Amino acid sequence: MAPTAQTMQRMRTAAMSVLRVLVCIMVLVLCGLAILRAFAVEVFHIPSGSMAPALLGNHRQCACPRCGQVVAVGRHTDDPMGTGDPRFYRNAFCPTCGNYPLAVHQGAEVQGDQVTVDRTAYVRRPPSRWEIVVFRLLSNLFIKRLIGLPGEVIRIHAGDVYVNNQVCRKTLDEARRMRVLIEDKGPGVGLGNRVVSGILPAALKCEPIRDEYAYNAGLHASSELVHDFMVESEIEILSGRGAVSLRLCDGGDWVETLLPVGETGPIEAFAWPLNNPEHTRKFADSPVRLALHPGRRYRVEMALIDRRCSVAIDGKTLLVVDLPESGKRAGVSRPFVMQLDGVRVRVLRHRLFRDIHYGQQGRNAVQGKSVRLGPDQYFMLGDNSANSEDSRYWSNRGRVGSGDLLGPVLHVQRPGR
């Protein structure tokens, strides 16, 4: 039986009502997004490299012809129009293998990162140390890493941050977020499925490692020695019973951690002064017992950062132990060694990192001076310390008021990714 005209009219009326409801919902959603954009989140473009490598400004990049590492170099300050003149990039180098010079100028310029900032975050919670923050100062917008909290005394010494005269130690997760790549050995860059039965050293450079950034296209005049390192290796246990030894050196001490293979036991930690292995001492066991097993793959991490030794396997932190603060430390050219005792291992990928190193440039909280923060004041530093105008330079001892903070970075969008 065919529907009547009255029934058809009711159906059309109902369809129009549904359509009006959908249109209203869409309008409300768009209005909500506009309000969110105006009051809750905001997007900023990063033009310069004071936060590199965490955030890249306008830059050019190329793959190193020797090792394959992709190197990004920021727009030179003397090239404000981004012409790519070769003279501005003549010192470009590969941080992994030291290859020099790189033909970075031949590539097209890539726009800097875009960041989304949560402008309501500090209504819900107080600012946190080590997070990246956008703030306003002297009518300009800046983006830096928040280092000092209200009421603290801040000082920068040997690349590390000291809070109330004690070194401020990072958790392993914080170290992961702030680490700077030095060396990457994997299938695409020269390591492949390397089978190791003895010793695997890292960092083939001969010179002590300094706070150099490939992004800056050269070593800056006031460069400093760095001492805080982290390694991450993807390994496959092939055979044997014994231990995988991971060793890191910070220029003051060598620290060794033994990962048991085939037999359950704790992760053992040993240390000895640089060039004095006869003074080796055991200083920690992990609270959990474990064993790596032949036929399985593992992601092992070890960090010696801020005089804190941390070890993780497959992302789970198993050992954290602090060493006493050290005096003057020597330069380190090869900070990592993997040594095997009674086992064979295939190394699928191996990466060496360093921690952010804060330099002595500027006048605030450097050169032995401290800055005391007020009840609503913060201290800000750029990751690319040698190329960052930050709290070390600003008036009012570099203090940034809480009312000047816009919010932390929620998301980073890198062009081409």
Domain containing 253 — which CATH number? 2.60.120.200
Q: Are residues 137 and 72 in the same domain?
A: no
| CA quadruple 302, 380, 160, 214: dihedral sign | positive
| Domain membership flag for residue 95 | yes
| Domain membership flag for residue 40 | no
Q: Are residues 336 and 196 in the same domain?
A: yes
Which token pair is 359? 């330099």
| Domain membership flag for residue 219 | yes
Q: Are residues 311 and 350 in the same domain?
A: yes
* Domain end among 354, 381, 400: 354
Task: Return phi, psi of residue 112, to 5°.
Answer: -65, 170
Q: Are residues 243 and 379 in the same domain?
A: no
**DSSP assignment, residue 109?**
P
| Domain membership flag for residue 294 | yes
Q: Are residues 307 and 398 in the same domain?
A: no
* Domain end among 310, 326, 354: 354
Q: Are residues 181 and 308 in the same domain?
A: yes
| Domain membership flag for residue 20 | no
Q: Are residues 275 and 300 in the same domain?
A: yes
Task: Give the C-alpha separation, 402 to 224, whole Å.
Answer: 32
Q: Are residues 204 and 277 in the same domain?
A: yes
In tens digits, the chain (417 residues) has pLDDT values of 556 666 666 666 666 676 676 666 775 655 555 555 555 889 999 988 999 999 999 999 899 898 888 889 998 878 888 888 888 888 888 877 778 889 888 888 999 999 999 999 999 999 999 999 999 998 899 999 999 999 999 999 999 999 999 999 999 999 999 999 988 886 543 344 444 444 455 444 568 899 988 898 876 778 899 999 999 999 999 999 999 999 999 999 999 999 999 999 999 999 999 988 899 999 999 999 999 999 999 999 999 999 999 999 999 999 999 999 988 899 999 899 999 999 999 999 999 999 999 999 999 999 999 999 999 999 999 999 989 999 999 999 999 999 999 999 999 998 866
Q: Are residues 74 and 149 in the same domain?
A: no
Structural domain total, the chain: 3
| Domain membership flag for residue 77 | yes
Can you give the residue range of the structural domain that contains 198? 171-354
User: How many Cα atoms sit within 13 Å of 281 on the Cβ side?
Assistant: 7
For the chain, the 3-state helix, strand and coil shares in percent, each to the nearest 5, are 15, 40, 40
Q: Are residues 139 and 244 in the same domain?
A: no
Q: Are residues 281 and 378 in the same domain?
A: no
Report the predicted TM-score, pTM, of the whole model to 2 decimal places.
Answer: 0.86
**Burial class for 304, CB neighbours closer than 10 Å (0-12, 13-18, 19+):** buried
| Residue 281 contacts residue 272 (beta carbons within 8 Å) | yes
* Domain end among 354, 383, 405: 354
Which residues 6+ apart lie within 8 Å of 289 measured at CB? 264, 265, 266
| Domain membership flag for residue 322 | yes
Domain containing 400 — which CATH number? 2.10.109.10
**DSSP assignment, residue 329?**
-
Q: CA separation (Å) from 47 to 51, 72, 81, 106?
A: 11, 14, 12, 20
Task: Give the C-alpha separation, 74 to 95, whole Å.
Answer: 14
Q: Are residues 229 and 285 in the same domain?
A: yes
